[in-house]
Structure 1
């Protein structure tokens, strides 16, 4: 089943395109890493997916229909984690209960108790990590089938980042919901996400299963004098050369090469950075077919 589908999606502000020709499909049950540099269009894509913006071109569907028809099944957490500093944590839970018909009060109170966050404490007196956990609790208690998170780890210290991601993955394991979280820090997502979308300059460069993407790319190292011939017969994503040595990242699972070349697999961060360095390189997004 496809949870989110965009076709030719674009958003323009006056003369500038924040997102352009965006086509991708997100299958159900995946944890999606939405990666790209600042200004790549990540926030714009998420805002379009929850109806905070209207497309200039193209369309975006959620659960097979228009975005407004599925908002009760979707939760969104913005980068600034909007909370009311003057509210107590209990006040925030009451606010969430009144605004969300699918609200799970037991989940919210149990989660905050497990985290040791007192309900009587004012939000403005909490640490940054605790505020992030309260915000995450509010969106999880909505019991969404699709959760969209915009830079959820921004401005958190390493321990808080780890704790937030651990709590999120526990919720995913419990509910099976689909999650898309944006970041420009690949290391935050490397051990948690299983689907990758790379945005660069407002366009989709890569979209697909992470294991398949890694299996389909190789890093080649060999003599610079032989690099032109190798690069010409393989699909080369990134080409870095010194006077004597060349390093090529290619879209090829098992290239057959001169023994003077070494071949190894790539990591997620290497793959993402290679594509971001070469905006003209792209994998072709494959549509994900809905199962019966």
Structure 2
């Protein structure tokens, strides 16, 4: 399996504070990976390390097996759209495309950028500063895709866009990835948008990776259970309780199930969404326990 991004014990510190620590993850090539977590979890730091803008204070990061700081030959394989989708506001899209070709001589595809912007109705001769936020985001995406990157890193590119602009951006992204087989690592808080587009998940919390894997496998491995308020005994079919809430008479649990054992029939089993899964793991601030060790006071 080819890995687009791999980190081992990766860490970055600002003063005495670790923005990222003991980060170990793998993003298989060809995936559209969602990078989620609360503010301050280390998402932007991870992306900046992967694109070579930052130097690690511990561990290592590899992009297709190479250090992203090794030089232009590595960076030519990486497209990056930063959080504020920066473009030169006095330049027109046509001028930005021309400039991109002068800076990226390896495999710049100016026709791709022009065609994408034309299809979206974005005027090529209007200064970027006079375009809407959604249009500027589309320009930034078109420029990143024109590099024909093997890896595309996107840092909250749609956070400030309205729902229609977000949908147009994600549709453009999905279409481009389907055509080019580019690997994408997308940081966002908008779980509904990610659920429709991403097939791999990385959850960061308090500077560490908390959960990672293929979305369909992770969702299939978790269930919401509703049943009687329990004692200290284990629940058949449950490998781990991720999150629990209780009323006087019943408990609701989000669990990681044991695929080899049927769920105890006393509990009603429900499938989970990606949003359920992510929020439960983010809310699980305390160290996790196995089902055998979990108990609810009577």
Does the pair score TM above 0.5?
Answer: yes
Cα distance in 2 for partners of 1:110, 1:94 equals: 14
Matched residue, 1:127? 132
- Supply the RMSD in Å over aligned alpha carbons: 1.7
Find the residue that maps to 2:99 and give its secondary structure: helix
Q: Which residue of 2 aligns with 1:285?
A: none
Following superposition of structure 1 onto structure 2, how do residues 139-288 of structure 1 map, counting pairs within 5 Å? 139-224=144-229, 226=230, 228-230=232-234, 234-254=239-259, 256-280=262-286
- Determine which structure has greater relative contact order: mean sequence separation of CA pairs < 8 Å that are 6+ residues apart, divided by chain length: 1
Return the alpha-carbon distance in structure 2 between the equivalents of residues 158 and 141 of structure 1.
Answer: 25
SS at match of 1:251: strand
Give 1:227 deviation, angstroms: 5.2
Which SS does the other structure have where 2:88 is aligned?
coil
Cα distance change, pair 63–237 in 1 and its aligned pair in 2 (3 A):
same
**Bigger shift: 254-263 or 124-133?**
254-263
- C-alpha separation in 2, matches of 1:44 and 1:116: 34
**What are the ranges of 5 or more consecutive residues in structure 2 without an aligned counterpart?**
289-298
State the Cα deviation string for residues 247-277 of structure 1 (Å, max 9, x = none).
1111115553443310111110000000000
Structure 1 unaligned residues grouped into runs of 5+ = 283-292
Matched-pair contact (CA < 8 Å) for 2:235–2:264: no
Give SS of 2:196's match: coil
Between Structure 1 and Structure 2, how many residues are aligned?
A: 282
Deviations 1:50-75 (A, max 9, x none): 11111011000111111134111001
Report matched runs for 1:40-59 at 5 Å. Answer: 40-59=41-60
* 4+ long deviations beyond 4 Å: none
- State TM-score, norm by structure 1: 0.93
Per the normalisation by structure 2, the TM-score is 0.91
1:278 and 1:184 map into 2 onto residues whose CA distance is: 18
